Structure 1
Amino acid sequence: MTASSNQKISQALNNETQKAVDAFNALDTDAKLAWLYFVYEKMGDSITPAAPTAAEPELAPLLLGDYLKLSDEQQLEIMRDIVNRKDTEYSRAYGAIKENNQLLVWYAWAVAMGDTIVDIPDNYKPTKAINDLLSQIEGLEFEEQISILRTIAGELGYSDVKPIETQAQTGKTSSL
């Protein structure tokens, strides 16, 4: 079985955006969740038109429907499983959808935090690493920001789908 992060090609556009993805990957699980929340809190107005309009929410009923009925503890555990790429029902459901839909899931969760989604603790203080990464993202062009978010979103969750080998890898041509 292969985690989804091993299958997807990074969409980061340049070294600077790849550094942001690497900085995200260096965060611990709860710091990653906090960073995703703060990104949508700070930049939601610019992310919103880019991802949800290109997304298909009906493709994620487990994540955008059933998930909302779970307890705060269950929701948090599922978020952690997705960030940690664990082989679970919800992580597989997340790993099975495309990046725009994955961004929509995080957006919907961020918007509903404190209402139907477990909220970040009131006394939570972001670490220097989280704040530095937020500042780094804010300083980039919009296309670079979205590239980073799609890359990060696409690396989360679980999938055992393997990429199709290329002709260069197999040495065979397709037989149409």
Structure 2
Amino acid sequence: MKKLALTIFICFIAFATSIAQNWEKYKSEDLAFIAMYPNTPERTVQKVPTAVGELDMHMIMYSPESGDDNAVYSTIRSDYPKEQFKDKDEEYTTSVLDGAVGGAVKNVNGKLLYDNKIKLNGFPGRSIKIEINGGFIYMNAYLVENVMYISQVICLTNNDKNPSIKRFLDSFDILKVK
């Protein structure tokens, strides 16, 4: 009986390891970013009304049907008007990121658990965790000149702090596109 249990355990670990290694690289030259997804994501665009006018929100999202620790993996890019950032200082950039954090919490009627200042390739950003009904949203937001990038993972409460969250968020990078 112990041998059977050990064999099942080894098979489970081998299966879990093989699944974990099958993540796909998603690279978008036109959106200028790269990220690793557990499977092929879907790309959509929505028009979103904002205080500075209607913006295109490009979303690259993967929602597993089952067998994953997380409900959603997504990357979002929104381009603000360039003139909005002309001759603006670091304080203005901070206020834009503050607005993104506040908007994210308000939009899901959540509770902000942490909000840390981060940088990616020298660009300012925020790493936040929001508690929502039945789960959590982990989000990194970066402001690159007039472009806002958001990478996020939504997980159920019982899957909090699973390794796929960090793997996805850490895989995001900004491409240098001319």
Structure with the higher helix share, 1 or 2 = 1
Same fold (TM over 0.5): no
Q: Normalization by structure 1: what TM-score? A: 0.26
Structure of higher RCO (CA pairs closer than 8 Å, 6+ residues apart):
1
Q: Given the two structures, how large is their TM-score scaled by the length of structure 2?
A: 0.26
| Structure whose alpha-carbon radius of gyration is higher | 2
Higher strand share: 2
